[in-house]
Amino acid sequence: MPIDIYWRIPTHGDQPLLRHRTPTRGDFAPTAPGSVTPGLRSGAPDGYSYLDHMADIARASELSGFVGGLLPSFPFTDDPWAAAASLARETTTYRFMIAFQPGFLHPVQAARMSASLQRATGGRVVYNIISGGGGPGQLWWGDKVDHDDRYARTSEFLDVLKGVWNGGPFDYEGRFYRVEGARLPEPLARQPFPEIYFSGSSKAAIEAAGRHADYYLSWLEPFGPLAEKFDQVRAHSTTLDRSPKFAVRIDVLARETEEEAWDEIRRGWDGIDPSVLRDATGDSIGWQRSQSFVTGKITGYRDLEVEPNVWGGFHLLRGGPAFGLVGSYEQVARRLDELIELGVGAFILAGVPHLEEAYRVGERVLPLLRGHDIRYESPVLEGTRS
């Protein structure tokens, strides 16, 4: 089975180093000396936009062997749909994994948007379906639907979207959506349906993923609990006569030696406020799970290494999930190989800063993966280019 390896394209600016949390790339922070795209030249804007920088990252990761890029979606980011449409012409076979919450789009409009983008790009759209982490971030969108109902809504959304795409007229009446006679025009209806990467760690999420996911997507966790979660998804999917594949989202800090990698973590750790070491706010089960894997008193950065090379403190150095891989190029490749042996068929990797680390990971880590068929370009279907 080919292994698809994606890179992350930050839609919210980027840090110059993992240990420097203030973004200098992009205009999500005030433009100042040292800022990049946009930057200053002789005290005036240099004419470059943050989209130019995202395009550099997309091209760099495509050249470095990644099959595509994840475009995250949060209240503080650019819109991933618009970004994907803008970046598509900057790449050749690169796939765009668009993260979105179904509750904020009508499924018929989502079908039309997606099919139009498939038609324009030659079938390079991938879905990262997220149902929201709760708390203030969810209320920013005006969404007061509770945790389990968000997954029920997502499941209905995908039922409608698939029904509209697969032919019409399509009728549906559920708790959240009602459509009558919905259909796509023929040039859009014949576009390939995007692969679905489905996130969530709760029982409700696993049940919805079992119905809809091509890839069940998880944050990195200690390998034992991660394997147990995969088994739960497999068991539920079996009752639906489906066989999902698995993907893991992982931050990577890889260097020539293990000592160099951990020294980078140490320098970042020196600037951490101890009061933020533990945080289990919101109703995201995935986040609460990740915090539960670190027990005991935290006296130093190595206390967050829950097993060899698996470190649970990345969220302290940049926004995002807690766990990632730290070590030499060989060690990181070996742990990725072990995840593949657990059944992982795709990865979303990331590193800060995203431009330089795309080259580093692509050139120094990916070639060390052993005995696996790494897919280096998008599987565009015949007849999908217009």
Q: How far is Cα 60 from Cα 93, in angstroms, rounded to an integer?
A: 13
Q: What is the pLDDT of residue 204?
A: 87
Q: Are 213 and 230 in contact (CB under 8 A)?
A: no
* b/e burial code for range 321-347 (CB count within 10 A of at least 16 → b): bbbbbbbbbebbbbbbeebbeebbbbb
Q: How far is Cα 127 from Cα 158, in angstroms, rounded to an integer?
A: 11
Q: Are 205 and 213 in contact (CB under 8 A)?
A: no
Residue 197 phi/psi, 5-degree rounding, is -100, 125
Peptide bond into 38 cis (omega under 30): yes
Q: How far is Cα 230 from Cα 242, in angstroms, rounded to an integer?
A: 14
| Tens digit of each residue's pLDDT (9 = 90 or more) over 252-311 | 999 999 999 999 999 999 888 766 665 545 456 666 776 777 777 888 999 999 999 999
Q: What is the pLDDT of residue 382?
A: 40
Q: What is the pLDDT of residue 22?
A: 79
Task: List the structure tokens of 203.
Answer: 């029982």
Q: What is the pLDDT of residue 277?
A: 66
Q: What is the pLDDT of residue 381?
A: 41
Which residue pairs, CB below 8 angstroms and at least 24 apart, start in 22-25? 25/50, 25/53, 25/353, 25/355
Q: What is the pLDDT of residue 145?
A: 76
Q: What is the pLDDT of residue 70?
A: 98
Q: Are 337 and 330 in contact (CB under 8 A)?
A: no
Q: Are 97 and 68 in contact (CB under 8 A)?
A: yes
Residue 314 phi/psi, 5-degree rounding, is -60, -30
**58: helix, strand or coil:** helix
pTM above 0.85, yes or no: yes
String of DSSP letters for 232-292: HHHHHHHHTT---EEEEEEEEEEESSHHHHHHHHHHHHTT--GGGS----SS-HHHHHHHH
Q: Provide the pairing of β-strand 245-255 with 215-219.
A: parallel
Query: Which of 46, 37, 45 lies closest to 78 in space, CA to CA?
Result: 37
Q: What is the pLDDT of residue 285?
A: 64
Q: What is the pLDDT of residue 385?
A: 34
- Measured over the CA atoms of residue 227, residue 349, residue 309 and residue 13, the dihedral's sign is negative
Q: What is the pLDDT of residue 274?
A: 63
* Amino acid sitting at position 279: D
* Amino acid sitting at position 200: G
**78: helix, strand or coil:** coil
pLDDT beneath 50: ranges in the chain: 280, 282, 379-386
* Amino acid sitting at position 254: A
Q: Are 101 and 121 in contact (CB under 8 A)?
A: no
Q: What is the pLDDT of residue 372?
A: 66
